[in-house]
Amino acid sequence: MKKAMRVLAFALAALTLASAAALAEDTVKIGIFEPITGATANGGAMETQGYDIARELFPTILGLPVEFVVADSQSDKVVASNAAAKLVSEGVVAVLGSYGSGLSMAGDPVFSEAGVPALTATSTNPMVTQGEWYARICFIDPFQGTMLARYAVENGYKKVAIFQDIEADYAVGLVTYFNNEIKNYPDVTVTSTGNFVSADQDFSALLTEALRNEPDVIFTSVQNGTSAGLIIKQARDLGYTGPIIGGDTLDDSKMYELAGAAASGVVFSTFCDADQPANDLLKSFLDAYHAKYGEDKKPAAPTIMCFDAYLTIKNAIETAGTIEDKAAIRDALFATSGFEGAAGTITLDESHNAIRPVVFMQVQDDLSPKFVKMIEP
Amino acid sequence: MAKMASKTKQGPGAVVSVALTAALLALMALLLWRMQAGIKDVYIMKITRLCAINITLALAMNLINGFTGIFSLGHAGFMAVGAYATALLTIPASNKAMMFMIAPLVKPLDTLTLPFPAALITGGLLAALAAYLIGMPCLRLRGDYLAIATLGFSEIIRVLIMNAQPLTNGAMGLRSIPANATVAWTYGVALFTIVFMALLTTSSYGRALKAIRDDEIAAESMGVPLFNHKMLSFMLSAFFAGVGGGLLAAYNGTIGQDMFRVTMTYNILMIVVMGGMGSISGSVISAFVVTIGQEWLRFLDGPITVGRFHTDGVVGLRMVVFAALLLIIIVFFRNGLFGTKEATWSGVWRSFGKLRGLGKRGEAA
Amino acid sequence: MSAIIQHLANALSVGSLYALMAIGYTMVYGVLRLINFAHGEIFMMAMYIVFFGLTMFLMPWYVSFIVAILLTAALGVAAERLAYRPLRDAPRISILISAIAVSYFLQNLATVLFGGRPLTFPQVPLFTSMIDVGGARISRLLILTPAVTAILLIALQYLLKRTKTGMAMRAVARDYDAARLMGVDLNRTIAMTFFIGSSLAGVGAIMWGMKYPQIIPTVGAMPGVKCFIAAVLGGIGSVAGAVVGGLALGIAEVLIVAAAPALAGYRDAFAFVLLIIVLLVKPTGLLGEKTTEKV
């Protein structure tokens, strides 16, 4: 038995040695801080696609090749903290990520302590950028929640049934800001609030109860597209034919897959629209995306946003003109103003949040989302 | 921790053992001090501190599961209580106001802050209180029923945290927790826990606990008040789990209810099982091995080239290898590294002797 | 009115799903006195096998279902052979820890083999199309699931009461040592128990997947724990009890959501509260037999 242990230890040691043959040359190391496995793995995968395409199209920064150092946070806050430290110790110049505000916040103290600038494309929780080293190129939840509420009011919905994932900071926050805005319109009421958790798959009882109040609209606030897909499918199965709205997490391949035909007509708010090649950058992104992932695939908003995040960091490093002075890179990043990305112009405010419009999209019968309208902040 | 069984004639005497232990500790302290001063690597220092936190957590679980023989799976719940208490008592008031966006934090917690040690101890005491309330019904249950009931209570604590918005910030979690979990604090608490457990388990009280583990009915007929002993052991275990949870909160800087799922309990259980249920030195060594091993195995997730064989990296492979190793240890070395024994200097002496004599004598006990 | 029918139908179908898995727990507990923590992961594996059978190997649904049930049963037997049998003489805690480790291993294995991203269980229209019953919209599955559970329960009762294997299982459950002395082949009987329990988990997984089509490596964790609770609720060791417990838990969960939707976030905690109450008030469960701790 002891011998077996020794053999095992030896084999493992041999494996490490074999893998440690890493080569050291001059590169710009960018940390990819994403959940590759675990509950939000799908989000991590969407974002990674964006980074990968951006690097394919723009492989160098300051003339040096870009090297990605990937750290999997396993969708877990403690692992995320260690993964962040791993990135810092690998000597990354800057960090991109994470999908999921909670995970970004777990990385924040590590990046702050080490002084490594970090940029998230999609973490919408206001607390993410409260530190001194984190910035984002998306809007924050108070804005999105308010706009969703206004959208419901403008469409004449009087009775709203809310479903929220009470395990997810994002989902709870969005509902809070939605409710705050709805309170300003006395003739609009929230008839029910159904609470569920991320792993729930059975919404039939909650839906049956909510539908008794005959709501005009269902507002789904979810962490994962999977929850939204299941709610939408089960609502339609129960005979609900009215409108369904939700936030940016609905734009997830899993939502379309799980809801199937039931997704048709669903409206969600998001960061940008892949169907409007307003600039050449978006067009070249789409060409690369289709070449890599298939003609029929449409990129989700987070993928485009992460493409832009890479470009924003690239721009900041090139503006700072250094890969050594991280404080200079951070300052250049926070000063980003009028930067043209694929998904629109990026300008950061004094709390390092982007000021950008919210886009409303509606899912069509062929399950592709179509632009409805855009609201400037 | 390392000098209890020095009665054997083969090894060094008691005085030498104490001296060796002291020397080892001094060496360790020196090493940590040098590391802290010399190593600027955030990652290495982070994992070093995590090892110490895991020592505290593993010893806490070992007390109830290993020494008392009560299979409790409620560890994550007690850690959550400690973590939230420590976080809420150390986060500066201004940060709290920024954080509780949905509903303000209840008074007087919104302005109350305590020094880190006071917060840690409060967290531990609250966890012990939770253990008292949970133990009242649960400790009357038998073996595996008790396991599933404590697991249930741990989940209930988590669900309560998730729903108690004005107290815990619910799903939003807590952030900006001051980074008090320094090398000094984490190793200081770990050392205190080791000494406490060593003294406890060698006291008459500890012997009573082991008697309960080995044969409950016999222990009772020998006059050991079963319920009281079980309860005190359960509460002490929860206290240290709470303190460990508080350290983890300060270590991580941000916490959320999703950290304290059953998986967290399982992770600590794995450390205890690997080291040997009922062995303090086993838990300590295992905490280092498991914590560092899990991080070290990260290379398995990346690209690997062995000779002509090459993979582009299989994400998650590290956890499969780790789980497989664990399973092998459980099935083939069911007592873990040390079983219920402790590492002793005479044991080390014997191992050296065996190594030296390996060529001549081969296997000899 | 239609809302009540709807709730009732929901409760019945969720309850029957719990029941199918609870039987596996109760049978294993009966013969080994082991909470098989890996049961939920065996259920999870079955979902993946069906998924790959249907989408990758393009099998007809009935072939893929049968393959999945057989492979799942084999997996259960393999787990017993490799991880539980070597520990049969060890303290019960060791085998319980081994079960936890098996569950941990299978979850991680699934992450590597099938990826961490969720997959969607393929729909079989024959089972999932919707029909109208008394004003309530009901999926065929809602009627099919209780029917399948009922048929399997009757078949299992026949097997346990009328066949030699079944008698051996009951004998081992009643008195392990006496059964061995009476010449019962322990290894075979225990393997058979895992075979039946795991294949029922396979059936449950298929039904579950058609109702809740998300497949992730952790999909078995919560159903696993809840079905164990259902088994305790009905009286662990009793097959009929497992079905009663499963239905009771299903109904109770739907009731709490229907009566107080704001409390729905506490739903998972509620199952545990129920468990603790049962353990304290009537540890033998609704249909369990009284056993005494042997000295």
- Shortest Cα distance from B184 to chain A (angstroms)? 18
Chains that touch B (3 or more CB pairs under 8 A): A, C
| C-alpha to C-alpha distance for B171 and A248, rounded to whole angstroms | 18
User: Do residue B254 and residue A105 have CB atoms under 8 angstroms apart?
Assistant: yes
Closest CB to A194: pick one of C11, C111, C261: C261
Give mean pLDDT, residues A348-352.
90
Question: Who contacts A191 (Cβ-Cβ below 8 Å, separation ≥6)?
Answer: A159, A160, A161, A210, A213, A215
Q: In whole angstroms, what is the distance from residue B76 CA to residue C210 CA? A: 33
pLDDT bucket at A18, cuts 50 / 70 / 90: very low
**Å between A101 CA and nearest CA of chain C:** 19
Residue of A16, A72, A81 lying closest to B252 (CB–CB):
A81
The alpha carbon of residue B23 is apart from the nearest alpha carbon of chain A, in Å, by 28
- Model pLDDT for residues B244-298, shown as the tens digit of each residue: 999 999 999 999 998 999 889 988 998 999 888 889 999 999 999 999 988 888 7
- pLDDT single digits (tens) C71-108: 999 999 999 999 999 988 888 788 888 999 999 999 98
Tell me the nearest-neighbour CA distance from C90 into chain B, angstroms.
Answer: 8
Residue C245: pLDDT band with limits 50, 70, 90? very high
Residue B52, both tokens: 């110490």
B8-47 residues touching C, CB cutoff 8 A: none
B100: chain A residues, CB-CB within 8 Å: none
Partner residue opposite B144 with nearest CB, options C92, C102, C105: C92
Residue B35: the pLDDT is 73
Residue C294 has a pLDDT of 38
Q: Are A231 and A163 in contact (CB under 8 A)?
A: yes
Query: Count of A–B CB contacts within 8 Å?
Result: 122
pLDDT value, residue B5: 44
Query: What pLDDT score does A182 carry?
Result: 94
Quick check: A8 pLDDT over 90?
no
Q: Which residue has the higher pLDDT, C245 or C259?
A: C245
pLDDT at A24: 44
Contact A193 C212 (CB under 8 A): no
Question: Is domain C2-281 given the CATH code 3.30.1760 in the classification?
Answer: no
Calculate how close chain A gets to B313, using CA atoms only, in Å. 11
- What residues of C are in contact with residue A204 (Cβ under 8 Å)? 6, 10
User: What's the half-sphere exposure (Cβ side, CA atoms, 13 Å) at B131?
Assistant: 32
The pTM (predicted TM-score) of the whole model is 0.87
The owner of tokens 């734009």 is: A251
Cβ count near C3 (within 10 Å) = 15
Q: How many C-beta neighbours within 10 Å does residue A286 have?
A: 18
- Nearest CA to CA, how far is C258 from chain A (Å)? 6
Residue B4 in this model has a pLDDT that exceeds 70 = no
> In sequence order, which residues have a C-beta less than 8 Å from that of residue A362 and are 6 or more positions away?
A265, A266, A267, A369, A370, A372
Contact predicate A144/A121, CB 8 Å: no
Residues B125-150: tens digit of each pLDDT: 999 999 999 999 889 887 778 888 89
What's the CA gap between A93 and A97, in Å, rounded?
Answer: 14
Contacts of B159 (CB under 8 A, 6+ apart): B257, C265, C266, C268, C269
**Least confident range of A11-15, B210-214, C95-99:** A11-15
Range scoring the smallest mean pLDDT among B178-187, B253-262, C235-244, C263-272: C263-272
Q: Who among C86, C228, C293 is closest to B142 (CB)?
A: C293
Where in the sequence of chain A do the CATH 3.40.50.2300 domains occur? 13-139+289-346, 142-270+359-375
Question: What is the mean predicted confidence (pLDDT) over C230-237?
Answer: 87
Check if the beta carbon of residue A309 is closer than 8 Å to that of residue A348: no
The CATH T-level fold of domain A13-139+289-346 is Rossmann fold (3.40.50)
* pLDDT value of residue A111: 94
Report how far residue A307's alpha carbon sits from residue C132's, in angstroms, rounded to the nearest whole number.
48
C 91-120 residues with CB < 8 A to A: 111, 115-118, 120
Is B258 close to A127, i.e. CB distance below 8 A? Answer: no
What integer is the mean pLDDT of B190-198? 94
Nearest CB among A110, A113, A166 relative to B163 is that of A166
- pLDDT band (50, 70, 90) for residue B72: very high
Say if residues A200 and A224 touch (Cβ distance below 8 Å). no
Tell me the mean pLDDT in the region A79-96.
Answer: 92
pLDDT, position B199: 93
Is A142-270+359-375 a CATH 3.40.109.10 domain?
A: no
Which chains contact A through at least 3 pairs of Cβ atoms less than 8 Å apart?
A: B, C
- Which residues of chain B have a CB within 8 Å of the CB of A102? 173, 254, 256, 258
Which among B41, B305, B332 is the nearest to A89, CB-wise? Answer: B41
- Does the pLDDT of residue A289 top 70, yes or no? yes
The verdict on a CB contact (< 8 Å) between B172 and A169 is: yes
Lowest mean pLDDT among A58-62, A309-313, C118-122: C118-122
**Predicted-complex ipTM score:** 0.85
Domains in chain B: boundaries = 45-261
pLDDT digits (tens, 9 = 90+) for B296-351: 887 777 666 666 666 666 777 888 888 898 888 888 887 777 777 777 777 777 77
Edge-to-edge strands of the sheet including A217-221? A189-196, A159-165, A217-221, A244-246, A267-270, A358-363, A369-375
Buried b (16+ CB within 10 A) or exposed e, A140-178: bbbbbbbbbbbbbbeeebeebbbbbbbbbbbbbbbbbbb
Domain boundaries, chain C: 2-281
The yes-or-no verdict on residue A2 having pLDDT over 60 is no
* Structure confidence at residue A6 as a pLDDT band (50, 70, 90): low
CA torsion sign for C59, C60, C62, C63 is negative
* Minimum Cα–Cα distance from B315: chain C residue: C112
By Cβ distance, the residue of B162, B302, B307 closest to A19 is B302
Residue pairs spanning B and C at CB distance below 8 A: 113
> pLDDT value at position B305?
63
Q: Which residue of A has its CA nearest to C261?
A: A194
Bridge-based pairing of strands A64-72 and A60-61 is antiparallel
- How confident is the model at residue A11, as a pLDDT? 53
Distances (CA, A) of C178 to A51, C168, C171, C173, C184: 65, 11, 8, 10, 9
Distance CA A228, CA A42 (A): 14
Q: What is the mean pLDDT of residues C13-41?
A: 88
Q: Cα separation of A322 and A330, whole Å?
A: 11
Pick from A74, A167, A175, A201 the residue to mutate for testing the C interface (most C CBs within 10 Å). Answer: A201
Quote the mean pLDDT of chain B.
85
Three-state DSSP string of chain A: CHHHHHHHHHHHHHHHHHHCCCCCCCCEEEEEEECCCCCCHHHHHHHHHHHHHHHHHCCEECCEEEEEEEEECCCCHHHHHHHHHHHHHCCCCEEECCCCHHHHHHHHHHHHHHCCCEEECCCCCHHHHHCCCEEECCCCHHHHHHHHHHHHHHCCCCEEEEEEECCCHHHHHHHHHHHHHHCCCCCCEEEEEEEECCCCCCCHHHHHHHHCCCCCEEEEECCCHHHHHHHHHHHHHCCCCCCEEECHHHCCHHHHHHHHHHHCCCEEEECCCCCCCCCHHHHHHHHHHHHHHCCCCCCCHHHHHHHHHHHHHHHHHHHHCCCCCHHHHHHHHHCCCCEEECCEEECECCCCCECCCEEEEEECCCCCEEEEEEECC
Q: What phi, psi does A166 have (nearest 5°)?
A: -80, 0
CA atoms within 13 A on the CB side of A47: 26
What are C292's two structure tokens?
Answer: 């005494």
Q: pLDDT exceeding 70 applies to what percent of chain A? A: 93
